[in-house]
Structure 1
């Protein structure tokens, strides 16, 4: 049974005719402003979107998967999206990529009958949005967001454990102070890595120092500027090691250290996350937690197709990363 919210549902909820709803949604001026406002608010509350595939479309399946995110900049996404697209193709599906920070754009793409299922990144969609997606019988698998129920699954990294392990490794080198270059608050992997960092400090009976938290936002240039300012502001806080939320921010951290007249690892040790291919061309070779990014995309597609074909219910898969020690860390 199709539970799609229709124009009839909007008309009933707003207590107006279907024709009035149609005119209001299409911008016809004959509708009174107060009535139009009521209709638009009702449509938004019900998560009504038109079926962009058209009523004449008889085929239920589109053989298309959707992937949404607010940005695909950076080497992590190039690997992830490539693996998703290639795996989808193997199963006879094409991939639509929706890039927007406006969740209305994303929801219109998902709820408009354009995809059979979606792979979501980050927590752009709230509980009510997810309920609307369920109501449309659209299956979803989330990356960087840990969700599991009948219709939704997820594929995430063991970011808490590896954040804790990387911090413990830096402490084992003799550092008593470890600065953390943050990612994006509210993003699952970012939050979990930070929690792991805090847990390692607590286990080692080291007091948390908020002055050692540097905002990097998963970006090289932002991390570079933030670490430059950090080193200028706190020159007496050495020896310090840096744990960065991802490899790009770790690269920015190393560049900032060098620009400030120091060396890695002679003066500071640095560890990143993800193990991106770019590190093969970076000096010194960066110690990092290598995550199986391609495998994450492949597993997300396979689980989503199983959900679409009702071969399984939603599950949460946790992929294990591996701490790789290279030239950017040393015993002090």
Structure 2
């Protein structure tokens, strides 16, 4: 799908912009129909450009916090003609989001770390995470298409401050004002209800994505809670379900121990972490593997349990700091997991 030049210009603005800020405040833009927790009242700018659909204006709200955990916070919105957005399928909307980020994040030093599908009040959204390898900057952006309006939220932070609570405080404080919920068919919700149950400390985000594996194209369903309070014992609580196109345990030459060994190797390589320990675990007769990793040079401990059930790989994960390892919240999260299959 063609990406408009005005959207391309927008990304240049949010990546390079810098502003001053002090204390946090809830910002409300009536015309934009949203509220969000900015560190201070943002600077507002507008940019108009020509597209195939006439002139389109981007309204942007920007702040920077030089002495805080994050470098900048940004919200923008663009109103497209309804004659355009009414023709878009969910696949087309994802294509619009993808095109925007790939067109603008095109430096060889920028690495795409992950893409997650999400929604707000049933309206389609997608989150992208990048890393600027040369400058050691982490960048997260969320796109939402609400009727004919596209919202774009973004946060930049230094690599050493990644996973700080301020990122999620900002992104998750975003709320729509005067917008009706849209009924959608959330496959990941239906799937989780049939596969497992688990208790998160607070309401978890639900995401889904598609990936290629040695067994064919597979779907990943994720439930994720990232605490917003600094006094929480843990950094991330997560469960993910990898849905393979077939029951991999019945494929020729499949060996469970070998599969789990590969899971560990891929995790260590992908996260550039070091193995602390591994052991077999069992839940309701299902054999799995429990792994602990040292991440980010020993600053973070990751505990993960992985199980194979039919065509599903189910992984539970908690991130914490070494001094909080094996805390009650972590252990209660793992203990609350139950298979429903």
With normalisation by structure 1, the TM-score equals 0.25
Higher share of residues assigned strand: 2
Instruction: Name the larger-Rg structure.
Output: 1
Higher share of residues assigned helix: 1
Higher relative contact order (CA 8 A, sep 6+): 1
